[in-house]
Amino acid sequence: MKKIAVILCIFTAFFIFAACEQKPMSPPAPPQNFTYSLSVTMDEFAMECQWEQAQAGSGVFTITAPETLSGLRLSFVGSECTASFGDMETLIVLPQKAVFVQLMEVIAQTENLSTTKRDNIFETRGELSRGEFVIFQDERGEYLGFSLGGIAQVVVGSI
């Protein structure tokens, strides 16, 4: 009888602990259309820009500071990038390490992500060929910031 009681207790404990297993956390769905103000820091260089996305896979970054780059506009549609400044416009190829290229790739990443929640902020970690990234989101899915593999820190503000 004692053996049956011990075995019953072991099975009960096993099922209780198995039920308490944490499931992978998913971040809240990010907005599909948005406009954000960004502060980008890369080593000693800092810039401010506005980021607009009207549909997935496209985005427009308009630099607002420093003054020497103010007004430069980079438009992404898929893998193509068009740079415009005043009346001039040209198709350009940005290096894969460019912050804007990485931001577009990071928000498109959907596989091999790990999400945790701390103080109502979701931290989603993943990896691209150029290194690890972290996306910070609030509970509504709005972006709060990005860390791009030691290359850049991006703080998101609202407009």
pLDDT, one tens digit per residue, over 25-49 is 888 888 889 999 999 999 889 999 9
pLDDT for position 11: 43
The mean pLDDT value for 15-26 works out to 53
What does pTM read for this prediction?
0.79
> What are the tens digits of pLDDT across the range 47-77?
999 999 988 889 999 999 999 999 999 999 9
Mean pLDDT score across all residues of the chain: 84
The mean pLDDT value for 112-135 works out to 92
pLDDT at 1 over 80: no
- At 59 the three-state DSSP class reads strand
Look at residue 106 and tell me if it is in a domain: yes
- CATH number of 55's domain: 2.50.20.10
pLDDT for position 20: 43
- Percentage of residues of the chain with pLDDT beyond 90: 53
> What are the tens digits of pLDDT across the range 93-118?
988 778 888 898 898 888 889 999 99
Point out which residues pair with 91 in neighbouring strands: 82
Peptide bond between residue 66 and the one before it cis (omega within 30 degrees of 0): yes
pLDDT for position 10: 45
Look at residue 143 and tell me if it is in a domain: yes
Residue 95 burial by CB count (10 A; 0-12/13-18/19+): exposed, middle or buried? exposed
pLDDT-based confidence at residue 23 (cuts at 50, 70, 90) = low
Look at residue 19 and tell me if it is in a domain: no
pLDDT at 21 over 50: no
Q: What is the number of structural domains in the chain?
A: 1
Look at residue 46 and tell me if it is in a domain: yes
Sign of the alpha-carbon dihedral angle for 107, 141, 41, 38: positive
DSSP string for residues in 84-121: EETTEEEEE---TT-HHHHHHHHHH--SS-EEEEETTE
pLDDT for position 70: 97
Look at residue 12 and tell me if it is in a domain: no
Phi, psi of 12 (to 5 degrees): -65, -45
Cβ-Cβ contacts under 8 Å for 151 (sequence gap 6 or more): 42, 97, 99, 102, 130, 131
- Percentage of residues of the chain with pLDDT beyond 70: 84
Look at residue 150 and tell me if it is in a domain: yes
Q: 77 is in which domain, residue-wise?
A: 25-158
d(CA 59, CA 80): 11
Burial code (b: 16+ CB inside 10 Å, e: under 16) for 19-31 equals: eeeeeeeebeebe
Cβ-Cβ contacts under 8 Å for 55 (sequence gap 6 or more): 32, 33
Look at residue 6 and tell me if it is in a domain: no
